[in-house]
Structure 1
């Protein structure tokens, strides 16, 4: 059933979805799409089943990319559905970290972005943008939408998806050297003192106890270097159930484990935003859990960085800090072997 709306959007519902019983959720979703031009479509799922899709009426058909499925709801919801299926498995990988459930996933490249999130157990949203500059606005709007549905419909507390916009970011340096920054070099690093010192200086300038508390640099899925401030006294309460050593090991194992899942994420993103030739299929991945987030940012088709924050209020700030570190790493030339 298609229900036209007055702002250039259309709501396509499944039979089991009763607007008279669930109208507030439907109207909040429609309002979000209408007020965020970058959102191509938004899908609502309950217990793994599609409930409805809100989409823009001026969008180009997806059939040319994914093939004609015979149902507009199925075509529009397919990228988000595949994203949410992938996040179920990724959520299992994150459980040993002891930082809570995966509640928001963002996967993007220069052509578009997919957003997937948990409103509460059994209720999920997915959103799509197929414009290069639509990702940030969609992310902001979808985070706000989840919070509104939780508060206004379910009377639940705010889990701060995307972090707290009022939180102050960390210092650009590790507090005059008083915070213990540990940097380890992997087998992909060239053992040249000047090169290692340049990388160490970058980690000193970006990794801190406030927002970005861990960052690792990989080339061809092999570690170049990893640094963290996990041994700081300020972070002591974060390691009551998972030790510093275990957490360092877990993040390295997570980086390796995500390699196979990224193929599925790239396939989902490719349905709406095929990568440019010579560019990574996925250029940014955010895994936002209840206590912080894990980020992956590609600096080239061979190289990427992993970042971590353990503070939910600092999720946006840590994301921005890792982006700055990634930009700086691009300027560090590997010495000849």
Structure 2
């Protein structure tokens, strides 16, 4: 049974653990003919039905579960705060009161939900399986834009304001490496944010690589992927400490249409690169390695990626099973 099926069973669990005792209480009330507080029963059933409905939604939308859990927790906590205020000050301010059962049930439900949310997220985080949405932590994106023509390539450059001299040198190195043949996009991150990126995605020769996403949308996706890959690399480093191999300095996502690279520069800096052409994955990879050593030199750090290897005959081509759509060339 997959994760979706397990979460789909949450309403059944809630009903069996909570609703069944209430139904038995109703039955005993009917058989013995005793008086029963109908308002309290309706309140209990209403809360249970609400919890079951929330559980059903969470079970059906598995991919957004962490976001939904946090959003639902925020809403329920706000509602409980209003209810608590009414229970505490109602008799004084407007001579009204909140039933103790209702206040107790809501408080218990919010506490249980908060506890379950915390346990779930902690377990997933410790397993290294929960990749959060990190857009909020990316900081302001580079907006200062200029274009530069080098040879046949028109290069887009976007930076944050007031970058230092060393970062200016790093930018110059990245601009010198990107072109329309192989390395098509490079972003530089420092202190948890992107300081600049440069690319040739608007080049007319690369237009056939864009089908369902435009160039600007692709840039945004690359920047987000770089932020998430850095987080994931940190989680992997924690797990790899026991093998005593050092930290990850290079991560390559070799996809069917090109590749995405993450290269470690130092503890506070890293690079993200992209090639759209599957045939140039090795060439772009070597460029990224040389680029990192150049940038480390700007910060008076020794090279870490120097390596020599003979070129492969025929490049980095591999067969891809044909799909319903036809790709003129493989591109990321």
Normalising by structure 1, we get a TM-score of 0.43
Which structure has more RCO (C-alpha within 8 Å, separation ≥ 6)?
A: 1
Higher strand share: 1
Normalising by structure 2, we get a TM-score of 0.44
